[in-house]
Chain A
């Protein structure tokens, strides 16, 4: 079974520039998550989708971050404009259906390591 795909794997940008990350979840997974993981910390949930609807975006800095999952499959996360403190690994994860506890296991992609200079 193919895992969660993410691209790019690495990105270096200057502050105030824009960047976009792409994620393709495991086939058949209804729930998709974007996390931010700063060095030395645990992943922080930015946004969660159920199919193409947003379930939770309470920790997404909406003034600069946006995300979409238009067809309920792959997703993009955008930062515009980037700040130095956005330097982190951005992880995408998917699960079958977050409403079913036994299927709640999340499978992560390899992440995109963003450096903002």
Chain B
């Protein structure tokens, strides 16, 4: 089992749709969680940190469920510019320090 697994893509949605991505992690001692966005042939950029209480930034909502070991990203009112790959990132702080990126979920938003 991979340490971080994401929904297989791609997701193809129309403009204005709501789309949700899930990410599961295997290490219960995971410390920090993030969603990064990566445009085609560009570097990843931080989209949101994910806090235990959940957090929202405009149309984006991130949630953490430690009991079930998953995080989610919800995008409301999708825009064409949301088309990108969304990377789930988990850090483990036991047994040595590790940062694990998921393989990413590709989103296409169409007019």
CB-defined interface of B49-86 with A at 8 Å, one 1/0 digit per residue? 10000000000000000000000000000000000000
Chain A residues closer than 8 Å to B108, beta-carbon distance? none
B interface, over-half SS:
strand
With A42-B87, A56-B96, A58-B96 as given contacts, are A105 and B46 in contact (CB-CB < 8 Å)? Answer: yes
Query: Is A25 at the interface (CB under 8 A from chain B)?
Result: no
Query: Are B45's CB and A108's CB within 8 A?
Result: yes
Contacting pair B46 A56 (CB below 8 A)? no
Chain B residues closer than 8 Å to A58, beta-carbon distance: 96, 98
A108–B98 Cα distance when bound, in Å, is 17
Taking a contact as CB atoms under 8 Å apart, the answer to whether B97 and A56 are in contact is yes
Residues of B within 8 A of A (CB): 4, 31-32, 34, 42-46, 49, 87, 91, 96-104
Residues of A whose CB lies within 8 Å of any CB of B are 33, 35, 40-45, 48, 55-56, 58, 91, 98, 101, 104-111
